[in-house]
Structure 1
C-alpha cells in the first residue's frame, strides 16, 4: 500500500499545496495568457502572490480621504392648533395653517459624508448633496485634526462640490486622478470612506461597468459601477485603483433596504478633473455646450438606416447658435464617438462634452447618409442670446411678484431646462405675492397671455399694460402645458 494511502493526513497536505498550482495550470492551458490577459493584468503566478494584500494601497490612499460634517440652521413656523382644526381646513384649505402659523422654531440639521483631497494645498472634492445648504462645514483629517472649510464651487449638474481648507504651509497627502479610459470591467478597486460615521472604512470589489447611464436625473453623468460595498456616509469618498489613484467619487447606490446590495456608482475622475479646474480658476463653472440634441439609436432605427448594429446618437436638433452648427453637424447625423471614445446614448454624449472646457477642440465621428465622416468642433459655452433682461412684475395681475427673464441657452442650462426652448421664464417668486398665490414656480415658461404669444419680456410687459380685465395665461412646466384663468 502506498504511503499516501497509509497517511491520509499527508494526502490532504499534499493536495492543499498542489491544488492552487493545478488550478492555475488548467486555467493557463485553457486560455493562452498572451491572448487573453494584458501584460499589466496577470493571473497570480504563485501561492505567495495569492496572499498579496491591499494594505500598501490603503496606506498610500487613505490619508487623502476625509470626514465632512455640514450643519445648517432651519427656521420653521409651527402650525397653530386653531388652523389645524378640520373645520377651518374644510373651508380655507390645508395651506392656511402654514400661512398663519404659530411661533417660529429653529433647529440644526446635520449631514455627514466623505471627501477626497486632490491637491496638496487642501483642495477637497465631495458630493454637492453632502454640503448643500450648509452654514458650517468641518473637515476632519484621518489624524483627527479638524478644519473649517469654504466652498470654492458647487455644481448641481454633476453633484460635485469643491472645498478648501487652510493648513498653512503644510502640503497634504492627495490622490492623483485616473483616466476613465484606463478602467476595464473586472479591474479591482477599493472604496474608502466613512460609512455611518465610522472613520476610514475600506471595502474591495471590481469595476462592474463603465459608462453606466440612466441611473440618475443628473444630466452629465456616465457612472462607474462597482460591487465594492458603499453605504450611507460613503458619499464623496474615494474609489481607488490598485495603483493608488482616484478612479471616481462614490455618490449613490441601488438598494431596497438602504444598505449596500453590491450596486454602487461613482462619478468618474474625468468629470472631477474638469470641475476642479473650474474651481481653481476662480471664475465659476464654465461648461462647454455642443448645441446638439438627439436620441439613442434603437434596433428599429438601425434597421431603417441599414446599420449593422444599433449604436450612437441620432441628432434630432441643432441649435443655430451652437458650436455644432458652426462646425457643420446636421440633423440626421449619427454621432458614434468623440475623440475615439464610443458614444451610445445622449447622457454619454453630454458626459463626454462636460469633461472638456470651453475652447477645447474635439473630433466627432459621425455617420451621415451611411458614410462615416469626421467633424472637428471647437467647443464654446452656451450663448446668452437673447440677454436675460431680468424684470420684476408688479401691479394688479396674476404675475405680480414674479421676476421673469428671456430664456437663452445659457439661462436654460443654469435652470435645468431644455436649451432648445425659447420664451419668457419665471426666475423668482416673491413670498406672499399674487404669483405665489396662483402657484407659479421658478422655471415655468410663459407661452402666451390672452392668446398673445410671448417670445421676449417686452411682449409680456406690453400685454400686461393692456389690462383687459381678465387673464388667460398658458405656461409650460416640464412636459406639461398648464392654463390659468383669472378675472379681475
Structure 2
C-alpha cells in the first residue's frame, strides 16, 4: 500500500493531539531545575523509566493547579453527613371529640397523631475526640442526631452547644476516638480570588466536592445570623451542604457553608460561609463546657454612616461605625468614647460598618482589651476598650407560664443587657421577653414568637416575669395585650 506524505502528516498530528491531554494532566507537578547528565558510554544501551513523582498540595499561589485531588484527600475524611430528626405530635381533629363519633368509634379517637420531622446537612470534625461543627439550623429543634463519616461509619451524636446568633452548633460523637480532623485556617488571611472547595452532602446524594473562588469578603445584610459578616463564594452550595466546610488550598477550614442566594433553590454561584475565625470562639466555648458563647459587649449603639452624616462630620467617605448612643456604665464610656465618634478599625483591622465592628469584637476572647481606631472632630484617636460580657442585671428569672391564659406555654425572661445581646431585642428595655414557645400551646395559637416583648396586659405594665405570672394567674373576660416585635409596638384584644 502506497502511503503519501499527506497521510504521514495527518497521523503525526493525530498522535500529538492524543498526547496533549496527558501532558496537561501532568502539569500539576512543578518543574525541577535541569540537571547535568553524564554521557552514556559508547556501545552500551540503557533503559530507565523515572518513577512518577507524588502529587503534592501547591506551596504557593503562583503554581498552576490542574487537580484538586491532593487537597480533597487531605480534607475529605473529616467531612461528615448529619442526619437529625424529631417526632412531632399532630393536633387532634375536634370532630373526634364529638359524642356521636365516640359512640361509634370509642374513646381515644381524638388522640393526636405523630409525624417524623427530619433534617439533613453536613459538618466537619475539628477535634480527635469527635467534636463536629455544623449549622444550628440543621439540628435546631431536633431530638435525635446521627453522623455518618466519609468511611461509612455511623455514630450517634449529642448536641454540646447551640449558638443561634451565629447559626453554629457543636456536636459530640458518642462513641469512638482518634477521629480524622481538619485543621482550622485563618479567614482574615483570605483574599478575593483565592481558590476554595466546598465539601458536603447536597440533596443527600453523598459526599460531593465543588470548586470556586472567594467572590467577596465581609458580606453583610445576608439575613442568616446576627453577625452579618460572611465569605461569598461561587463554589456550588446546595441544600444539604449546610454545615460543611469551605476549604482552602492547604486543606484547612476557612468557613462553614451556610446559605445560598437563589430563587430556584439550587446553586446559582452565590453562596455564603461563616468565617472560621468566628467558628473558633464557638468551638472554644463548647470545649470549656459552656452552654452559650460569651462575647464582648460594647455598651453602645452603632449606626451605619450615610453620605449625609459623613458630610456633616466632615468625612470624605461614609465608612466606619457611628456611635449613636453610649451606655454611661458600659465599656465604651469607660474607654472614653462619646456619641458622634466613628470607629474605623479594631486592632488594626479595617471596620467599614457596624457589622464589621461587631464581628471583630465577637472573635476576641473575653478578659482582654481591643484597640479601636476612632475619628473624632476630624482627627484620629485611639481607644482601649475592655472586653467583658454584657451584665446579667436584672437576673433572667425565667418562668414558663401555666394555666389557661393566652400566654400559657410561653417561657419568658427579664430583660438585661445580656438578654438584649443574646436575643437581639430591639426598641425597649422594659417588659419581659419571650424566649421559647411550646408546640401546640395557647401561646403558639396567639402567635407569640421568640424575641417578642410583652409590655402590658389588661393595661397593667409588665416589669418582671413575676408581674406576668401574677396577671395571668386568674381568668379574664378579655385579654388586652401590648407587644413589641422588631422595634414596633402593637396592641391586640382577644376573648377570655
- Once the two structures are TM-superposed, the CA of residue 151 in structure 1 deviates from its matched residue by 1.1
1:9-408 equivalent positions in 2, closer than 5 A: 40-42=60-62, 44=63, 49=64, 52-80=66-94, 102-168=110-176, 170-285=177-292, 286-390=294-398, 404-408=412-416
Q: Which residue of 2 aligns with 1:31?
A: none
The worse-fitting range, judged by mean Cα deviation, of 127-136 and 459-468 is 459-468
Distance in 2 of aligned mates of 1:435 and 1:172: 44
Distance in 2 of aligned mates of 1:76 and 1:461: 28
Q: Is the 8 A contact 1:80 1:101 kept in 2?
A: no
Q: Which runs of 5+ in 1 are unaligned?
A: 21-38, 85-99
1:166-191, CA deviations, whole angstroms, 9 ceiling, x for partnerless residues? 454x4222111111221000000111
Q: 1:398 to 1:152 in 2, by over 3 A?
A: closer
Distance in 1 of aligned mates of 2:109 and 2:321: 52
Distance in 2 of aligned mates of 1:137 and 1:251: 19
Q: 1:269 to 1:419 in 2, by over 3 A?
A: farther
Distance in 2 of aligned mates of 1:269 and 1:430: 33
Distance in 1 of aligned mates of 2:279 and 2:440: 41
1:37-79, CA deviations, whole angstroms, 9 ceiling, x for partnerless residues? xx9432x5xxxx46x3111111111111111111211111243
Q: Is the 8 A contact 2:426 2:487 kept in 1?
A: no
Distance in 1 of aligned mates of 2:201 and 2:404: 54
Q: Which runs of 5+ in 2 are unaligned?
A: 24-58, 99-107
Secondary structure, counterpart of 1:152 in structure 2: strand
The worse-fitting range, judged by mean Cα deviation, of 454-463 and 175-184 is 454-463
Q: 1:106 to 1:461 in 2, by over 3 A?
A: closer
1:422-437 equivalent positions in 2, closer than 5 A: 422-427=430-435
Q: Which residue of 1 aligns with 2:55?
A: none
After superposition, the CA RMSD in angstroms is 3.8
- Once the two structures are TM-superposed, the CA of residue 103 in structure 1 deviates from its matched residue by 3.6
The structure that has the greater radius of gyration is 2
Secondary structure, counterpart of 2:113 in structure 1: strand
1:188-230, CA deviations, whole angstroms, 9 ceiling, x for partnerless residues? 0111111122222111110001111111241113110000111
* Number of residues of Structure 1 aligned to a counterpart in Structure 2: 443
Give me the TM-score of the superposition, normalised by structure 2. 0.78
Q: Is the 8 A contact 1:296 1:344 kept in 2?
A: no
Give me the TM-score of the superposition, normalised by structure 1. 0.79
Distance in 2 of aligned mates of 1:70 and 1:469: 43
Distance in 1 of aligned mates of 2:401 and 2:341: 43
Distance in 1 of aligned mates of 2:268 and 2:13: 40
Distance in 1 of aligned mates of 2:417 and 2:156: 37
